[in-house]
């Protein structure tokens, strides 16, 4: 008896034969009910009295409304375990917004179901006719490249399949082919197409905050934008990552990357300067006494006329042959020079620069311009040395030397 009385519950005034039954009792509703009564300084109730009270309480509760199916919200596509959760969900603002969208789309949803059912019946009839004719039915494959095959019978279609295929095909043939460079009149970051280069640059500035670095030193704006279009359209290269980042397989992918990452800008520093050297001229920003042409003059820098009697120096002076001295001593009336207005690339660059300044663009600082100019000078010297080494190496292969301009 002593061992049997070792496991008791003081709150409910009961005893247990082992500890397992005691632990299960502590989890029961009867024990929790007596605990609440003890806190309220009320006497405990027996197990039989507790069951009677539970049955009486259940009899007083109204019957739950019968539902046609499980607790499930069709517009939100969300199931619920209890009716209380379902009612709280129906009163939420999120459900009400979803319900309004669901009701607005009811007619279109019904139309899609009708079209899908009609397509399924047509396919079944077509398959039966093919079997009766002795052949097996299979969907016809598209003849033109780029057209997707027809959808499966169980897929839903918003409109007629043939019309959707024709629309997609016409759009693909109107756009420029992927793998070719983006034209200068098309945006580098989205499918937008402008009327000309100036309008395209204006669009890229307003829509994507794209500015051409050091626009006042650009000598060929159209060539620069064309080259950038080739990088994006042919090489699928981000203009800011520039071969050092992720590789892409399509124009849409690289354009989406540049828009999402904020890379709608052009990397123009360090080693990349050599890539755009053909489109810039920083000679006006060189420091005093540090001319890029301070190196020994290369043969290409001396412009020899085809007749071999005149030599034009880099300064613009013309040196003539001594055999023509009598002609150089003549004093002829100078011809009237007519100043022609600059057009083409110079006008486009000037208009773009004016447009940038109206938008508040200030350009690079003086320190940055000096650094860029020094980098360009170093790159030009390196290129000149490379050309000189290549020329000397080529001259070594010449067996016989013949003077081109005998004196």
pLDDT tens for each residue of 357-399: 666 666 666 676 677 767 677 767 777 777 777 776 766 666 6
**Cβ-count burial 358-392 (b if 16+ within 10 Å, e if not):** eeeeebbeeeebbebbbbbbeebeeebeeeeeeee
At 295-343, the pLDDT tens digits run 444 544 455 555 667 776 665 667 677 777 777 767 665 554 444 444 4
pLDDT tens digits for range 221-242: 888 999 999 999 888 899 988 8
Q: Clarify whether residues 212 and 263 are in a common domain.
A: yes
- Residues 263 and 223 placed together within one structural domain of the fold: yes
Query: Is 277 inside any structural domain?
Result: yes
If asked whether residues 201 and 276 sit together in one domain, one would say yes
Residue indicated by tokens 């009400």: 96
Cβ atoms of residues 139 and 150 within 8 Å: yes
- Look up the domain containing 53 and give its range: 4-60
Are 12 and 49 part of one and the same domain? yes
User: Which pairing describes strands 7-9 and 303-304: parallel, antiparallel, or unpaired?
Assistant: unpaired
Range 189-216 burial, b when 16+ CB lie within 10 A, else e: bbeeebeebbebbbbbbeebebbbbbbb
Residues 275 and 202 in one domain: yes
Bigger pLDDT: 396 vs 45: 45
Residues 42 and 99 in one domain: no
Most confident of 43-52, 130-139, 308-317, 338-347: 43-52
Beta-bridged to residue 218, according to DSSP, are: 280
Annotate 76-100 with b (16+ C-beta within 10 A) or e (fewer).
beeebeeeeebeeeeeeeebeebee
Residue 288 maps to a domain? no
> Same domain for 201 and 255?
yes
In the chain, the number of structural domains is 4
| Average pLDDT for 40-57 | 89
Residues 6+ apart with CB under 8 A from 377: 286, 290, 292
At which of 251, 281, 311 does a domain end?
281
């Amino acid at each position: 008896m002593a061992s049997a009385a070792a496991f008791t519950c003081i709150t409910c005034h009961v005893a247990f034969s082992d500890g397992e039954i005691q632990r299960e009792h502590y989890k029961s509703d009867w024990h929790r009910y007596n605990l609440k009564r003890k806190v309220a300084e009320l006497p405990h109730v027996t197990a039989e009295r507790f069951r009677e009270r539970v049955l009486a309480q259940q009899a007083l509760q109204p019957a739950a409304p019968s539902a046609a199916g499980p607790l499930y919200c069709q517009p939100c596509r969300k199931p619920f375990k209890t009716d209380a959760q379902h009612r709280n969900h129906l009163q939420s603002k999120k459900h009400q917004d979803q319900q309004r969208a669901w009701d607005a789309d009811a007619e279109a949803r019904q139309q899609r179901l009708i079209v899908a059912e009609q397509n399924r019946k047509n396919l079944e009839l077509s398959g039966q006719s093919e079997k009766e004719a002795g052949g097996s039915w299979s969907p016809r494959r598209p003849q033109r490249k780029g057209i997707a095959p027809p959808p499966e019978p169980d897929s839903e279609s918003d409109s007629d399949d043939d019309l959707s295929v024709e629309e997609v095909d016409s759009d693909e043939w109107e756009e420029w082919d992927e793998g070719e460079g983006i034209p200068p009149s098309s945006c580098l970051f989205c499918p937008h197409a402008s009327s000309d280069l100036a309008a395209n640059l204006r669009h890229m500035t307003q829509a994507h905050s794209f500015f051409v670095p050091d626009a006042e030193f650009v000598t060929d704006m159209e060539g620069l934008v064309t080259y950038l279009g080739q990088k994006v359209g042919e090489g699928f290269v981000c203009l800011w990552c520039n071969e050092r980042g992720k590789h892409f397989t399509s124009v849409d992918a690289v354009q989406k990357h540049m828009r999402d990452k904020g890379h709608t800008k052009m990397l123009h520093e360090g080693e990349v300067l050599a890539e755009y050297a053909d489109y810039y001229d920083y000679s006006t920003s060189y420091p005093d006494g540090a001319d890029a042409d301070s190196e020994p003059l290369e043969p290409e820098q001396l412009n020899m006329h085809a007749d071999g009697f005149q030599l034009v120096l880099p300064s613009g002076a013309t040196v003539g042959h001594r055999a023509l001295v009598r002609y150089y001593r003549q004093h002829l009336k100078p011809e009237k020079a007519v100043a022609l207005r600059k057009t083409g690339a110079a006008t486009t660059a000037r208009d773009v620069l004016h447009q940038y300044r109206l938008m508040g663009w200030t350009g690079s600082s003086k320190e940055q311009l000096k650094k860029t100019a020094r980098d360009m000078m170093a790159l030009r010297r390196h290129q000149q040395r490379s050309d000189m080494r290549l020329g000397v190496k080529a001259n070594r292969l010449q067996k016989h030397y013949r003077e081109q301009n005998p004196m």
